[in-house]
Amino acid sequence: MNKLPMTEDDLQAWVDGALPAVRRGEVEEYLATHPEEAERVRAYRAQKQVLKAMFQPVLDEPLPERLQALATPPVAVDPEKRPFFTRWSLQRIAAGLLVAIVSGAAGWLGHAQYQAADSRQAQRVPLPRQAAVAHVVFSPDVRRPVEVGAAQEDQLVAWLSKRLGTTVRPPKLGALGYELIGGRLLPGNSGPVAQFMYHDASGQRLTLYVTTENASNRDTGFRFAKEGPVNVFYWIDGQFGYALSAGIDKAELARVATAVYDQLERK
C-alpha cells in the first residue's frame, strides 16, 4: 500500500476538517507517531476555536443605525432603474464632447480673468485654491468624508443654509452618475462656506464648494484652474462663489460643472 507523503497542506486541512475520510485517517496515523507535529496542529485547532469564540458575540450585537440603513439602497440609487451601462449612453458622450469644446474655450478665456482676480484679492485665498485644498483634505477621507450624510439631506440643507445665511442646496447629479455623499461646513476667508461631496460608481469623488463671500465681485463665466492633481471649475454668481473640484479630467469635470450651473440657474 502506497501512501502519499505527508505535506503541510494536509496538516492544515486536518486542522480545518477539510480532508476526505481516508486521508484524514492517514494524517491521524502520522500524528500518532509524530508527537511534536501533533502538538503543533492541535495548537492550531485550539487557535481556531478561540478565535471563533472570541468574535462570535459580534454576530449578536445590535447593528448600528448607519449599517442597518444600508441594508436598503442609499438615496437615489435604484438598482432596477439604473443599469450600469445605460449611463454610458451616446447622448452622454455627445454631451461630453460638446462641453469639452465649450470648456476648452472657457478655460482659455478664463485664464486672464483668473490672474486679475488673483491680484484683486491679494490678501485672500483665491476661490479655486480654497476649494482645491478643501477637496484634497476631505475627499480622500474614507471614514468621515462629510459631516452630515446624504441620508439626512434635509437636515444638511437646513443646517448649512442657516449657517451661510442663505439657502444652499446640493444639486442632483445622479443623472451624470454622481451621488451625493453629504456635506460639511468649513471656514472660508471671512466666514462659513459649505462643501458638498459626491462620488460615482467607481468611488471617484467630486466636491462642490459654495461660498457667499463674493458680494463685491462681478459675475463671471466658467473659469478653470488646476491645483496640483486637482482640476477646478469655478464661477461667481452674485454673492455666491461656486467651485467644483475633482481629480478627473477637465472635459468630464466641465460636463458636471455645466449640470451644476444649469441647476443653480433654474432655482
Q: Which residues contact 215 (CB under 8 A, 6 or more apart)?
A: 239
Q: Nearest approach, Cβ of 199 to other proteins (angstroms)? A: 7
Query: How far is CA 34 from its chain centroid?
Result: 54
Least distance in Å: CB of 71 to other proteins? Answer: 4
Residue 189, C-beta contacts closer than 8 angstroms, at least 6 positions apart: 124, 125, 130, 211, 213
Closest CA to 157 of 180, 134, 174: 180
Which region, judged by CB under 8 A, interacts with other proteins, from 12-20, 89-97, 238-246, 253-261?
12-20
Determine which helix (DSSP H) or strand (DSSP E) holds 97, and give its type and residue range: helix 90-120
By CB under 8 A, which span of 21-29, 59-67, 108-116, 229-237 interacts with other proteins? 59-67
In whole angstroms, the minimum distance from the beta carbon of 68 to other proteins comes to 8
> Which of 3, 115, 140, 221 contacts other proteins by CB under 8 A?
140
* Residue 198 · residue 205 · CB < 8 Å: yes
Q: Residue 156: is it exposed, middle or buried by C-beta count within 10 angstroms (0-12/13-18/19+)? A: buried
When binding is defined by CB under 8 A, the residue of 1, 22, 33, 56 that contacts other proteins is 56
Q: What is the binding site for other proteins (CB under 8 A)? A: 8-9, 12-13, 15-16, 18, 40, 43-44, 47-48, 50-52, 54-56, 58-61, 63-64, 66-68, 70-74, 77, 79, 82-84, 136-137, 140-144, 179, 199-201, 203
